[in-house]
């Protein structure tokens, strides 16, 4: 049940029930205190048209409730203006005048005004379309920063809403993400509604006295001319829209959230907006134009800004911000020299010949007749030129052997001896455990067996 109006005695600080005109204790005239806002409104019926059901939220200007509209049988959002604003005659007049203008706005992106009025006890209320969703501020905090396509989709809807309002002679003056509702349904469509057109400014005294604490608007989104107390027009809302666009791309307002009202306004007037990363340079320049200190440097209307933003639709797939660096050319493949190929073929032939010799050496050889030297004919492949003699280990002394049969006398220097040196000598493969002495490997098959005792012949074969 709604609470009855309170009758208060300012002399003895006592409260009394309704129906008394004077305090029964001190005979002082009682002051009737209207019930304006608070949970006491739940269940109360306003002017026989709305029944308050649930409190949705509260702010500096009052509270918002879920209410039932009897005439059409639907739920509405009921905003109650409380405190000093409801008691201010000038504010009340401006509220009723501009609420009447707002009720004429019929545009898909503007919250529709259903009714407005004032109760007999002095409470101002405004019945609006009930929207289920999140504020744009919450959406940026949860899912931002946005891509180009999503941010432009939201900004174009804001342009449509501003164009309709400006055409009706209404300037929002407090456009910010907190006053924009992104609807839950249909899901994923990012359809939005703009709240409080022309109401916040109309509730705050004379327009000529907008200084100090009387300035309406959030410092992160308010235009510089309004912050300094100058007259404003539709271009003030375009500044706010530029700040909202900047925040959708970066996740933060253009001049940050640190500092008080004066600090933020000083940065607006003295600093250029920070650069935007991942945004085309021409789109970034347009956003900076909206954030110009002088209104004449901004786009002249919401319709103009809408047309300029539309030109960037579909630019998500284009390279932005950083120019693509061309890849270095692939180095040219060089063709192999025929001499290298010929050398590889020769190595393959030589390896095959060595393999054949090794396999032949593993077969048991026939016992040579005594006194007959075994001479192996030279191979068809000429032996490669001998490399310079490498440093070798000290030769191992051969064991004492019985005298061998007389060998052929050493050939004289000349062609015969050179032919003998070119001959390939067949040797038995050595075991891995112990090296075979040079004398055992060559005698008596070598014509130079005597020299072979020094290991020269075996060393030459191993090369």
Catalytic entry in 47, 115, 160, 174? 174
Q: Mark whether 300 is an active-site residue.
A: no
Q: How far apart are CA 273 and CA 289, in angstroms?
A: 10
Catalytic residues: 174
């Amino acid at each position: 049940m709604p609470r009855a109006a309170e009758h208060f005695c300012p002399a003895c600080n006592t409260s009394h029930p309704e129906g008394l005109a004077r305090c029964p204790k001190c005979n002082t005239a009682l002051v009737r205190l209207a019930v304006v806002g608070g949970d006491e409104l739940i269940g109360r019926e306003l002017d026989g048209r709305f029944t308050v059901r649930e409190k949705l939220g509260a702010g500096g200007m009052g509270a918002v409730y879920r209410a039932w509209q009897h005439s059409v049988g639907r739920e509405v959002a009921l905003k109650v203006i409380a405190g000093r604003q409801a008691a201010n005659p000038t504010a009340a007049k401006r509220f009723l005048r501009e609420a009447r203008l707002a009720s004429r706005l019929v545009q898909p992106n503007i919250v529709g005004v259903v009714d407005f009025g004032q109760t007999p006890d002095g409470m101002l209320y405004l019945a609006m379309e009930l929207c289920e969703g999140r504020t744009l501020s919450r959406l940026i905090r949860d899912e931002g920063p946005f891509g180009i396509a999503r941010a432009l989709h939201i900004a174009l809807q804001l342009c449509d809403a501003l164009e309709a309002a400006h055409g009706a002679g209404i300037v929002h003056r407090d456009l910010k993400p907190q006053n924009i509702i992104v609807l839950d349904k249909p899901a994923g469509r990012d359809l939005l509604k703009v709240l409080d057109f022309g109401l916040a400014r109309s509730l705050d005294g004379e327009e000529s006295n907008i200084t100090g604490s009387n300035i309406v608007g959030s410092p992160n989104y308010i235009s510089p001319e309004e912050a300094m107390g100058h007259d404003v027009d539709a271009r003030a809302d375009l500044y706010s829209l530029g700040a909202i666009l900047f925040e959708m791309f970066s996740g933060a307002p253009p001049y940050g959230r640190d500092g008080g009202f004066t600090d933020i306004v000083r940065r607006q007037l003295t600093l250029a907006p920070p650069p935007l990363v991942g945004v085309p340079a021409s789109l970034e320049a347009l956003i900076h134009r909206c954030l110009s200190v002088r209104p004449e440097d901004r786009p002249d209307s919401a319709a103009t800004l809408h047309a300029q933003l539309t030109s960037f639709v579909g630019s998500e797939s284009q390279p932005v911000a950083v120019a693509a660096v061309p890849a270095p050319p692939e180095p040219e493949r060089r063709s192999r020299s025929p001499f290298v190929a010929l050398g590889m073929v020769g190595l393959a032939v030589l390896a095959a010949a060595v393999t054949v010799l090794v396999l032949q050496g593993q077969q048991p050889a026939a016992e040579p007749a005594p006194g007959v030297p075994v001479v192996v004919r030279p191979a068809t492949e000429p032996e490669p030129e001998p490399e310079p003699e490498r440093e070798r280990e000290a030769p191992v002394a051969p064991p004492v052997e019985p005298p061998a049969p007389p060998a052929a006398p050493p050939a004289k220097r000349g062609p015969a001896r050179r032919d003998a040196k070119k001959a390939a000598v067949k040797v038995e493969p050595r075991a891995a455990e112990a090296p075979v002495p040079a004398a055992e490997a060559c005698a008596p098959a070598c014509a130079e067996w005597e020299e072979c005792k020094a290991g020269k012949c075996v060393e030459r074969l191993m090369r």
